[in-house]
Homo-oligomer: A and B are copies of this chain.
């Protein structure tokens, strides 16, 4: 009488029915049972560079496939202390203005074997409430495109939570940041406009608590002063389309005339300003008035606008943020290294809404086109 050894398929089907009856999940024990090995052998089969024999691996993988087994990330993270989840904090405002940002971040983080857990902030003041949620989820690190205070940063340090700020800075603390040099962008824009003969400048500012818009304005004002030009008239804006038109009217009324050039804190405002000037006030842009924006959003490139603007190299910045964060996570066992700051340059897009002198000097050309990362200590 021969002893019949049941084949893996048969055992798997029977065992799977059992699991279904008990309403449990499929675990590595189940796979081990079906494959006829120990649970730890199964565990090793799902890890990189563990020592398993060819034969065992094959048996285990077959059993796993038959049972629809997938390792449980929650259980794994409990012991490895790695969830492979990265939190992205993003103010809804930024979300809408930079639709590419989230997509690029997700791709780049995904390419590094992690996933993005999304935390959107309806208002930038909701940070506290959201952060306490972040801690629960045991994320490996955080990319924050939102306004954090020095106290928040301190809590990240206390909890040893890797952090990268995106387009934000905190003066009081040393933090990893990825930014575009918005101040330099503001300076560059003024330089080009001034070189073409513009003298009376108006500025439509962005949302008040936005570091980005503030830096742009600061750079522009600074450069105007250096060039000995009169200070610009600044009117407030909300970074949206209606603010462009409202800002234009406000500037004309404050200055008693149409300015030579208007610098808008964002492309959407610039487009609002442009539409108002052309369609409502009958102002000839760029002959009577130059208009410029920031960000090079998709519509700025459309035929109806062809806006003079400055582009942030978003894909590169997203890649830098993912890279930086993952580097910090990987070495987070060791002592914390000194924070890294990666600064990118904006790229000047000439467009056709501003009168500009052609650029020949090597310095201006390179500073306008440069977008490689520059480390500033």
Contact = CB atoms under 8 A, between A and B. Distances in A.
Contacts of A136: 70-73
Given A74-B77, A107-B122, A116 B115 contact: no
Contact of A138 (B74, B88, B122, B298): B74
A54 to B, nearest CB: 23
Contacts of A305: 304
Interface string A78-104: 100101010010001001100110110
Contacts of A107: 92, 120, 122
A344 to B, nearest CB: 21
Interface string A301-326: 11111000000000000000000000
22 contacts: A68-B158, A70-B132, A72-B136, A73-B138, A74-B74, A74-B138, A75-B78, A88-B118, A92-B107, A95-B99, A95-B102, A96-B99, A96-B100, A102-B102, A106-B118, A115-B117, A115-B118, A118-B118, A241-B301, A275-B303, A275-B304, A279-B303
Interface string A262-279: 000000000110011011
A330 interface: no
Interface of A: 25, 68, 70-75, 77-78, 81, 83, 85, 88, 92, 95-96, 99-100, 102-103, 106-107, 110, 115-120, 122, 132-133, 135-138, 158-159, 241, 271-272, 275-276, 278-280, 298-299, 301-305
Nearest to A110: B120
A70 B158 CA distance: 13
Nearest to A25: B81
By CB atoms of chain B within 10 A, which of A81, A83, A118, A138 has the most?
A118
A24 to B, nearest CB: 10
A70 B135 contact: yes
By CB atoms of chain B within 10 A, which of A115, A132, A138, A298 has the most?
A115
Given A68-B158, A70-B136, A117 B302 contact: no
A146 B326 CA distance: 28
A133 B303 CA distance: 42
Nearest to A136: B73
A72 B120 contact: no
Contacts of A92: 103, 107
A95 B101 CA distance: 11
By CB atoms of chain B within 10 A, which of A100, A107, A302 has the most?
A302
